[in-house]
Structure 1
């Protein structure tokens, strides 16, 4: 049996990234050099050492290859592409000589600056915010060192050398490729002053025609994911998890399975049983022959409806904790000319990424445990893997793989899939590498969902239609309670439950936002755009109700409340203008709009829909986004489009259903993400900005739900207050 490590507690404060205090360094690698933080003398790389992700941000080798070692995890959102752009811009590299690999194992080097630099991790759309200064600085430092090397080799002043397209050039001395000067550059002193390019000098940052560096690999099948990892002698394991959350293995019989061809073993892990085979098919067939008895004494046995029934009772009571309190909301509402109230319900949602969870583990002859996987929180996984392997963290090396989708699912506090892979490999005495590959059934029923929530909002209006008071009560599970991020909870408030509701940009006098956290045994986790997935829907649909009660246009009603929020107002105006708000839509169609800020990016959307009976068709979505400096405009558009499709599928049809504590949805036949024929036309407009870049992987999701729901009301007169929409319209 294995025991998981105890609780880890550290608070991750938000800070503004800065170049001040960077301790840049350089080291020689085979035929080239790397730039990153200054390495410790005891671990400095020798001239014949291999390039290491433990000591650099940028490596340039003699064959002209420029490798960016990413502190951020890429699950399709384009963070690798963004970091490649930052480095290539300052370095002066050709786009086709850039590659990006994941780094891990050094929090001082790779700690997320948006989290205070305390730990490495990707989440909250912080990749560009955290990387903006340090990766540009690394690229600029490498360029200056290459120039210094060329100046020395050619005996010319450094300021006469130009750098572009991977070449160093001088009017009389000639030209050289980066690779030709890389080894000499490693001997140059680290620049003490590093001036970054001015925006007017940028050719890659902000270039709308720059396509992703990895597009070809993703389309021709050469892009490797964890599912593609093949090691000599590798075995494959599939999991048998308890059918109810919180249950544990009581006993199991695997004799029939182990007698089957290709089945190597059946072992217990901290999270269930691993059936290990010579290949995937053998393991899956062996799984069918295993019988297990589960101890369900501590298991969650309620279904979705029973959990929501508890939430309905709790929402009628006063909140257990207060997230925001301004003025006297109860008194203001009691004295209002009109009082409007609404209640909302949101189901559990699965992440349902295309690539199910997986990881590969092995121990080498040197005793180092290697783990391949989608390591979204590497430091935490490294520590937990060391505990399972009964070794120390420095004896665990993570290979950070690119991942076929994540949406938050791979940032889990107990490192579930990593634990299973390491535990399975250890259980067979480390005699072979083991890949644990979840099936779609495992992935859907294996836990970690967007929590279910209930909301109650009421507000008062005066005779002129102005809001006099606002009360918002949210009931649901905490994502961070009991885990390493529990320190985020302050005064009983989990900020991930109330974000998007507790800091509204609207000028609302006499405002109260409360939270009641329920005790439910269903494992929950952040899901693309986290709290704003439900808070934005409740807030933005309720604002439309208030606008109607006030006799005002929904756009003008919002803009009147955004006098102190210019960036919110700007995206809202832009989306409305581009969508033709206030002009007649095409025959048979109606429009709805919504606004949401998440992770410091501002997004407004206008949805154009039609309703035929109970069938809703979203024809077009106009989206405006302000994410600060647009590092990769093409990628920003892609992420807005992807976020809209992701969010649209969720609000229209997705619902994870539990009966008697067991998940009923096992595949895409009953849990139905958006189908391609339902994808609307999408028009994305990016606000020009000089502010530091913020994220785009998540903020496109929140506004689409309320924009569509508001349009549905315009078409049908029916308010949608329980998701998914298709189910609500049938009720």
Structure 2
């Protein structure tokens, strides 16, 4: 690179006084010393380089334990040529410039952060590197193309003289931006290494601040009690005895809830437990899970359904197939069970609204606060806190709206904290779904046709309800995990070569709120499709690994993953007596995963001894974090498959805490081995990739052990329990 730059004395002094370099991340690339949230840029984040040489990535997304901040920092530092020991991450500011590329909102979801921000971060880091090179070369009195950048220094290769980023950052900030920065070529120096995550030390020493840790001078605390039946409204509340209690500031009535505000959370919580509010009757007060499931099962026979995938003539081919396999499957509502319950701190005045919140959807926070307060969005100031778990639940804005209404009422900073009971009983749950899958096979054991019908509520209904977001009658979220999301797939159904396929959806509304849950539609569709493949293998008297391998012959990537799994799990070796195993494969969030689960069963007590997972996520930015995220999603998938379910009786959720919403314990967690296939392809998602294969692999293993098929989750409803 050779660039000539002219600086007059005034420009140089101004650059030196600034003491640092701050670059916006985006395509097109723009540079500024301050964030201008009114800019219509689609992409945005910032690189800040201080006079001390420290490089800060001002993250475009929140960190909720998935490791995105560290992954993005690694990408940026690699392209920039920074010293990794001097790299840090700052919480995201709010603005249009920070919205996810291609999404139009500033959020963290769908295992997309590293995937979506990889290219814009690299381009912006490359631009910063070129500007630093020019500034450093000018200071050294040499040509820019005679210099290289590494470990936080601009280095003149011939003389080996060097100058640190911090010494020229301010001057570099004043240079014209490169219109077409050149990306680094050759192997990465940071990306691909198993580096410790940047957020771990503060979480270990307690200095990390989550939403629930917020403390503001003069802050009050609020506890809430919401209508037990979804959609019922608050009619009346007897508050006399509560108002006279020590420390109670106010009792506030919301449309469907009552709130007690006090000078401590404990006083607010104990006071609200004494209140017996009266809520309105609703038509849903008699609804139960049994009613919802029965209605969904009826729709399996409906002559009307909306097609989502149509390839060839699946109906005709299925009817002509030599062998046909059909099964109905169902999954329950699921809670997110985040360790940090819903919480939001708000300070509302006539001129502004300030929020401290753990949220996956920062654009939604701003829009909600503006709507509730009537203030323009530029008067809404949001502090994006760390999330104590999200899994899709903290995309929703219910707690933000409630906290803002409370803040308006008390005119003082107030922190709303949901109790665990409120959190369990007022979620936006993973939808309960029913699916029917049919496959036809020819004489060679190849799939000649596949049909699938999905029945359930729409996750997008409440998120984008103006207009109602069905695409030609189909909720696209319900289809996630059906069609392939990875490059090079041979067909439309996962990685399987299927010439005739038809997938249909029937919208079945329910009064139970539904929302995004880790891996969204793939969590049920992986169970439906892979369970049917396993049943087909038994019907064909074929090894389930070999059947999948044959059906994926047109996808070398998938075959590589399967073969690696067979090798690492010892699939072709005999198991010790009393041990059994199952296998499953899924393609979601741009990554391929396959798992073998090894179990033993004594009566109906299931012991999971070992899980082997192979993942191809294209390029593993941080292998250590890939392993951690895969392990975490497998644990969540195991828990959901065995014991988790939200049940409704008389219109309300029966579960209330961890004693009756059972999650997997540390003692029950098996040995989990993760193997990464680095195919060098586009970066795939990781946080959700491995979850969908867990349930079908586990149920496959149980069938191998007992001869019984599990077609309805969780297994506990059929009497199974952890050993």
Question: Do they superpose with TM above 0.5?
Answer: yes
2:184 paired with 1:197 = yes
Question: Which residue does the alignment assign to 2:99?
Answer: 111
Contact 2:349 / 2:408 at 8 angstroms: preserved in 1? no
1:178 is aligned, of 161, 165, 178, to: 165
Per-residue CA distance 1:584-631 (angstroms, 9 max, x = gap): 123321121101011111111111111121111111111111111211
Query: What displacement does 1:325 show?
Result: 2.5
Query: What displacement does 1:174 show?
Result: 4.9
Deviates more, 1:298-307 or 1:68-77: 298-307
Question: Which residue does the alignment assign to 2:470?
Answer: 489
- The alignment partner of 2:277 has SS state of strand
Query: What displacement does 1:425 show?
Result: 0.5
- The alignment partner of 1:399 has SS state of strand
Contact 1:34 / 1:56 at 8 angstroms: preserved in 2? no
1:537/1:402 CA distance change after superposition, 3 Å: same
1:543/1:228 CA distance change after superposition, 3 Å: same
Question: Which residue does the alignment assign to 1:140?
Answer: 126
How is 1:275-674 mapped onto 2 (pairs within 5 angstroms)? 275-297=260-282, 299=284, 301-363=286-348, 367-412=351-396, 415-428=397-410, 430=411, 432-484=412-464, 488-502=469-483, 503-504=492-493, 505-674=495-664
Contact 1:507 / 1:562 at 8 angstroms: preserved in 2? yes
Provide the C-alpha distance between the structure 2 equivalents of 1:229 and 1:667, rounded to a whole number of angstroms.
24
1:117/1:706 CA distance change after superposition, 3 Å: closer
- The alignment partner of 2:477 has SS state of helix
- The alignment partner of 2:273 has SS state of helix
Provide the C-alpha distance between the structure 1 equivalents of 2:331 and 2:344, rounded to a whole number of angstroms.
32
Contact 1:465 / 1:549 at 8 angstroms: preserved in 2? no
Provide the C-alpha distance between the structure 2 equivalents of 1:39 and 1:576, rounded to a whole number of angstroms.
43
Contact 1:591 / 1:711 at 8 angstroms: preserved in 2? yes
1:584/1:488 CA distance change after superposition, 3 Å: farther
Provide the C-alpha distance between the structure 2 equivalents of 1:452 and 1:568, rounded to a whole number of angstroms.
30
2:116 paired with 1:125 = no
Provide the C-alpha distance between the structure 1 equivalents of 2:706 and 2:299, rounded to a whole number of angstroms.
31
Contact 2:91 / 2:384 at 8 angstroms: preserved in 1? yes
Per-residue CA distance 1:540-559 (angstroms, 9 max, x = gap): 11111111111211111112
1:275/1:179 CA distance change after superposition, 3 Å: farther
Per-residue CA distance 1:331-369 (angstroms, 9 max, x = gap): 33333333322111211100001111111111368x231
- The alignment partner of 1:677 has SS state of coil
- The alignment partner of 1:289 has SS state of coil
Contact 1:323 / 1:513 at 8 angstroms: preserved in 2? yes
Contact 2:605 / 2:720 at 8 angstroms: preserved in 1? no
Deviates more, 1:310-319 or 1:647-656: 310-319
2:61 paired with 1:72 = yes
Q: Which runs of 5+ in 2 are unaligned?
A: 1-13, 36-40, 484-491
Provide the C-alpha distance between the structure 1 equivalents of 2:55 and 2:593, rounded to a whole number of angstroms.
35
How is 1:707-718 mapped onto 2 (pairs within 5 angstroms)? 707-718=697-708
1:37/1:164 CA distance change after superposition, 3 Å: closer
Query: What displacement does 1:131 show?
Result: 0.6
1:170/1:532 CA distance change after superposition, 3 Å: same
Provide the C-alpha distance between the structure 1 equivalents of 2:283 and 2:54, rounded to a whole number of angstroms.
54
Provide the C-alpha distance between the structure 2 equivalents of 1:324 and 1:626, rounded to a whole number of angstroms.
25
Q: Once superposed, what is the RMSD of the aligned Cα atoms?
A: 2.6
Contact 1:246 / 1:300 at 8 angstroms: preserved in 2? no
Provide the C-alpha distance between the structure 2 equivalents of 1:232 and 1:65, rounded to a whole number of angstroms.
32
| TM norm structure 1 | 0.89
Contact 1:601 / 1:625 at 8 angstroms: preserved in 2? yes
- The alignment partner of 1:690 has SS state of coil
1:325/1:147 CA distance change after superposition, 3 Å: closer
Query: What displacement does 1:330 show?
Result: 3.4
Provide the C-alpha distance between the structure 1 equivalents of 2:65 and 2:293, rounded to a whole number of angstroms.
33
Contact 2:447 / 2:551 at 8 angstroms: preserved in 1? no
Deviates more, 1:299-308 or 1:601-610: 299-308
Q: Which runs of 5+ in 1 are unaligned?
A: 1-25, 48-52
Query: What displacement does 1:39 show?
Result: 13
2:85 paired with 1:85 = no
Question: Which residue does the alignment assign to 1:149?
Answer: 135
1:58/1:296 CA distance change after superposition, 3 Å: farther
Query: What displacement does 1:46 show?
Result: 7.4
Deviates more, 1:481-490 or 1:444-453: 481-490
- The alignment partner of 1:524 has SS state of coil
| TM norm structure 2 | 0.90
1:219/1:630 CA distance change after superposition, 3 Å: same
Contact 2:26 / 2:124 at 8 angstroms: preserved in 1? no
Provide the C-alpha distance between the structure 2 equivalents of 1:267 and 1:149, rounded to a whole number of angstroms.
59
1:403/1:332 CA distance change after superposition, 3 Å: same
Query: What displacement does 1:274 show?
Result: 2.3
Contact 1:300 / 1:521 at 8 angstroms: preserved in 2? no
Contact 2:327 / 2:532 at 8 angstroms: preserved in 1? yes
1:270/1:62 CA distance change after superposition, 3 Å: farther
Query: What displacement does 1:464 show?
Result: 4.3
Provide the C-alpha distance between the structure 2 equivalents of 1:683 and 1:574, rounded to a whole number of angstroms.
12
Provide the C-alpha distance between the structure 1 equivalents of 2:15 and 2:563, rounded to a whole number of angstroms.
51
Contact 1:359 / 1:418 at 8 angstroms: preserved in 2? yes
2:687 paired with 1:697 = yes
- The alignment partner of 2:453 has SS state of strand
Contact 2:44 / 2:99 at 8 angstroms: preserved in 1? no
Query: What displacement does 1:487 show?
Result: 6.3
Provide the C-alpha distance between the structure 1 equivalents of 2:405 and 2:189, rounded to a whole number of angstroms.
48
Question: Which residue does the alignment assign to 1:251?
Answer: 236
Contact 1:461 / 1:467 at 8 angstroms: preserved in 2? yes
Per-residue CA distance 1:208-260 (angstroms, 9 max, x = gap): 3x111122112121111111111111111121111010111112222222211
Contact 2:22 / 2:32 at 8 angstroms: preserved in 1? no
